[in-house]
C-alpha cells in the first residue's frame, strides 16, 4: 500500500484503511466534504428542535448513563455537556502513542461527518482543525472498558477541542489545550446539546489500533515467510513440501499465499540444490520448517477476517443516541466493542503462534544435534565464544510474554455505571496488548533472520538463493557476520529496525518478485 501526504477527504461515507494510516502516521491533512457538512447541519436542526421540547430526550435534555432519567433545564445544558467531557477524561497511566490518538480522532471525525450524531458543523470543523494543526491530546493507557466505546480516551480528545486538558503540539512539546489552540489560531468549542455524547461515544480507539495492527501484520507475515525460507535453506531442508499441488490439497487461502512466497524465495537456491536428490537423507523436515505455510497462512486468514470486521466498523456511525435517516433520535447499543474486541484478541493469538514457530526455527540453528553440521550456537570458537546462544534466550522470553498476551481481554467483562453498563467489551485493552504482541513478533522474526543469515554465511562456499542472499546482505549492513563474540544487543536492534521499516521485505521482493 503506497501512502502519501495527499489530503484525506472526510465525508458521509467511510474512510479507508489507507486514509487512517495516512493521517495517523504521515500527518496527511484533512479536508471536510462540503456536501457532508450540509448534512451535518440538517441533522443539527433536528436536535435544536428537540432541545426546545418540554419532554425529555436522552443526551439532549437529560443526564447520562445511570442518570438518564434526570431532566436538565436549557440554561444548564452547556455545563452538562462540558461536565460530561471533563468527568469522563479520567484516564491514568502512560501516554499512548501519537499515531493511536490521531487514528482515533480521525475515526471519531468520520462518524461526526455521517450526519447521524447531531453535532454542529463548527464542532466537526474544529475537530478537523486540531488534527490539521498537529495537536495531539494526551490520552492515557488506562480508562476505557470498551463499553460505550472508548469513553475516557475520546473524552481527553474532546477536552482538547474545548481548549482544556493537556496536549502536545506538532513538535511534541507538552502544553495546555488552551495554549495549543491559541497558538494555532483555533477557537475552542463551547459544546451544545448532544455534542458531548457525540464526541466520546465510539469504538474509535480500538478500531484505530486494529487498522494500524493490520498494516503492521501484513508486513510481518510476509517477513515470517522470508525468515522461514532462510531457515529452510540454511538448515538444509527441502522446498518440496511447498509444491503448489500439495498445497492445493488443502485449499486454505492464507496457506496458499504463504507457500507461494516460500517457493518464490527459494527458487533456484544453490544451497537447496547442493543436497537434493536420491542421496539426501532428509525424509521430512521438522514441523517448524515444513508446516510454516500452514501456521503463517492461518495467521493470514485470521488477519483477513479481522480486516473484514474493521471494514464494516469503518462504515459504521457509532453513537448513542443517533439521529436516524427518518429523523428519529434513538438509543441503541452499537457502541459495544465486542466485534472489534474479538478480532483484536484473535490477532494476538495468531501473533503469538507465528512468533513461537519462529523461535523454534532459531533454536534449531544453534543445536549441533539438529543443525546439520553447523557449530554449536553458531559460535566462532566453540567453548570460548557463546555465539547466538543468548539471542535465542531473548526470543524465547518474548514468546513467553506473547503467550500471556494471547489470553483474551474480551472475555473479561467487568460491570460499571451502577450496573447500567453491566457487560463491557474490554476492546481497548485487547488493542493495547495487541500492540505489544506485534512489537514482540517483530523482534522474534528479526532474531531468526539474524541467526539464519549467520547460518547461511557458515555454509560457504555454497551460496544461498538470490532473494534470501539479498536479505543476508542487507543484514550485513548493520550486523557483522560470523566471528568472535561481540556486543550483540545493538545488532539485534538494528535488524529489528530493518524489519520494521520494510527493508527486509523490499530486499527479498527485489529478487523474488512481488510477495503476498
Interval 256-306: pLDDT, tens: 999 999 999 999 999 999 998 777 767 689 999 999 999 999 999 999 999
If asked whether residues 168 and 305 sit together in one domain, one would say no
Catalytic residue among 58, 142, 342, 393: 58
Cell numbers linked to 85: 467531557
Cα 61 from Cα 49, distance rounded (Å): 12
Residue 342 is among the residues annotated as catalytic for this protein: no
Q: Could you tell me the pTM of the whole model? A: 0.95
- pLDDT tier for residue 64 given thresholds of 50, 70 and 90: low
Q: Find the length of the chain.
A: 516
Cα 176 from Cα 440, distance rounded (Å): 34
| 507 CB-near residues (< 8 Å, 6+ apart) | 467, 470, 471, 473, 474
Cα 244 from Cα 357, distance rounded (Å): 22
Residue 148 has a pLDDT of: 79
CATH of the domain at 153: 1.10.275.10
Task: Name the residue among 308, 306, 266 with its Cα closest to residue 285.
Answer: 266
Q: At what angle do helices 253-266 and 466-476 cross, to 10 degrees?
A: 80
Interval 109-147: pLDDT, tens: 999 999 999 999 999 999 999 999 999 999 999 988 888
In a domain, 119, yes or no: yes
Give the mean model confidence (pLDDT) for residues 195-215: 96
Answer with the one of 174, 201, 228 that is the final residue of a domain: 201
Cα 245 from Cα 247, distance rounded (Å): 5
Interval 325-339: pLDDT, tens: 999 998 888 889 999
Cell numbers linked to 135: 495537536
If asked whether residues 166 and 257 sit together in one domain, one would say no
In a domain, 481, yes or no: yes
Give the mean model confidence (pLDDT) for residues 184-209: 95
If asked whether residues 130 and 265 sit together in one domain, one would say no
CB neighbour class for 275 (10 Å; exposed up to 12, middle 13-18, buried from 19): middle
Give how many domains the chain has, as a whole number. Answer: 2
If asked whether residues 244 and 187 sit together in one domain, one would say no
If asked whether residues 185 and 333 sit together in one domain, one would say no
If asked whether residues 66 and 135 sit together in one domain, one would say yes
Cα 86 from Cα 108, distance rounded (Å): 18
Answer with the one of 201, 228, 263 that is the final residue of a domain: 201
CATH of the domain at 389: 1.20.200.10
Domain range enclosing 171 = 8-201
If asked whether residues 60 and 150 sit together in one domain, one would say yes
If asked whether residues 436 and 391 sit together in one domain, one would say yes
If asked whether residues 146 and 172 sit together in one domain, one would say yes
Residue 479 has pLDDT above 50, yes or no: yes
Interval 377-434: pLDDT, tens: 999 999 999 999 999 999 999 999 999 999 998 998 877 776 667 778 889 999 999 9
Whether 438 contacts 217, CB under 8 Å:
yes
If asked whether residues 161 and 272 sit together in one domain, one would say no
- pLDDT tier for residue 79 given thresholds of 50, 70 and 90: confident
If asked whether residues 243 and 381 sit together in one domain, one would say yes
In a domain, 516, yes or no: no
Cell numbers linked to 225: 515467510
If asked whether residues 67 and 216 sit together in one domain, one would say no
Amino acid at each position: 500500500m503506497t501512502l502519501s501526504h495527499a489530503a484525506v477527504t472526510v465525508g458521509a461515507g467511510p474512510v479507508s484503511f489507507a486514509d487512517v494510516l495516512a493521517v495517523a502516521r504521515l500527518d496527511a491533512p484533512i479536508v471536510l466534504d462540503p456536501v457532508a457538512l450540509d448534512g451535518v447541519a440538517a441533522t443539527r436542526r433536528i436536535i435544536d428542535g428537540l432541545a426546545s421540547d418540554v419532554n425529555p430526550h436522552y443526551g439532549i435534555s437529560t443526564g447520562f448513563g445511570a442518570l438518564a432519567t434526570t431532566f436538565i433545564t436549557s440554561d444548564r445544558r452547556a455545563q452538562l455537556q462540558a461536565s460530561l467531557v471533563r468527568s469522563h477524561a479520567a484516564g491514568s497511566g502512560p501516554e499512548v502513542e501519537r499515531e493511536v490518538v490521531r487514528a482515533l480522532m480521525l475515526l471519531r471525525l468520520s462518524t461526526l461527518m455521517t450526519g447521524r450524531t447531531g453535532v454542529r458543523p463548527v464542532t466537526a470543523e474544529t475537530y478537523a482543525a486540531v488534527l490539521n494543526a498537529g495537536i495531539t491530546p494526551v490520552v492515557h493507557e488506562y480508562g476505557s472498558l470498551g463499553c460505550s466505546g472508548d469513553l475516557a480516551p475520546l473524552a481527553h480528545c474532546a477536552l482538547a477541542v474545548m481548549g482544556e486538558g493537556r496536549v502536545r503540539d506538532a513538535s511534541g512539546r507538552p502544553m495546555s489545550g488552551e495554549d495549543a489552540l491559541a497558538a494555532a489560531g483555533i477557537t475552542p468549542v463551547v459544546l451544545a446539546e448532544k455534542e458531548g455524547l457525540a464526541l466520546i461515544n465510539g469504538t474509535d480507539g480500538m478500531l484505530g489500533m486494529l487498522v494500524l495492527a493490520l498494516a503492521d501484520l501484513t508486513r510481518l507475515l510476509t517477513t515470517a515467510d522470508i525468515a522461514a525460507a532462510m531457515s529452510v535453506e540454511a538448515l538444509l531442508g527441502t522446498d518440496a513440501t511447498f509444491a503448489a499441488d500439495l498445497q492445493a490439497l488443502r485449499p486454505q487461502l492464507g496457506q496458499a499465499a504463504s507457500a507461494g512466497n516460500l517457493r518464490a524465495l527459494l527458487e533456484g537456491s544453490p544451497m537447496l540444490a547442493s543436497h537434493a536428490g536420491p542421496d539426501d537423507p532428509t525424509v521430512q523436515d521438522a514441523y517448524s520448517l515444513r508446516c510454516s505455510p500452514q501456521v503463517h497462512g492461518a495467521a493470514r486468514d485470521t488477519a483477513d477476517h479481522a480486516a473484514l470486521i474493521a471494514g464494516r466498523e469503518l462504515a459504521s456511525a457509532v453513537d448513542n443516541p443517533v439521529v436516524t435517516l427518518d429523523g428519529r433520535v434513538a438509543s441503541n447499543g452499537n457502541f459495544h466493542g465486542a466485534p472489534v474486541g474479538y478480532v483484536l484478541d484473535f490477532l494476538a493469538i495468531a501473533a503469538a503462534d507465528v512468533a513461537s514457530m519462529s523461535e523454534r526455527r532459531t533454536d534449531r540453528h544453534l543445536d549441533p544435534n539438529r543443525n546439520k553440521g553447523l557449530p554449536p550456537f553458531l559460535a566462532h570458537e566453540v567453548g570460548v565464544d557463546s555465539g547466538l546462544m543468548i539471542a535465542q534466550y531473548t526470543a524465547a522470553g518474548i514468546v513467553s510474554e506473547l503467550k500471556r498476551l494471547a489470553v483474551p481481554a474480551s472475555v473479561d467483562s467487568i460491570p460499571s455505571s451502577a450496573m447500567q453498563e453491566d457487560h463491557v467489551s474490554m476492546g481497548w485493552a485487547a488493542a493495547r496488548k495487541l500492540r505489544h504482541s506485534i512489537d514482540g513478533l517483530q523482534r522474534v522474526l528479526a532474531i531468526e533472520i539474524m541467526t539464519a543469515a549467520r547460518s547461511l554465511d557458515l555454509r560457504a562456499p555454497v551460496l544461498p538463493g538470490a532473494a534470501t542472499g539479498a536479505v543476508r546482505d542487507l543484514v550485513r549492513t548493520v550486523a557483522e557476520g560470523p566471528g568472535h563474540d561481540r556486543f550483540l544487543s545493538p545488532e539485534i536492534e538494528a535488524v529489528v529496525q530493518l524489519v520494521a521499516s520494510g527493508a527486509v521485505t523490499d530486499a527479498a521482493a527485489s529478487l523474488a518478485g512481488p510477495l503476498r
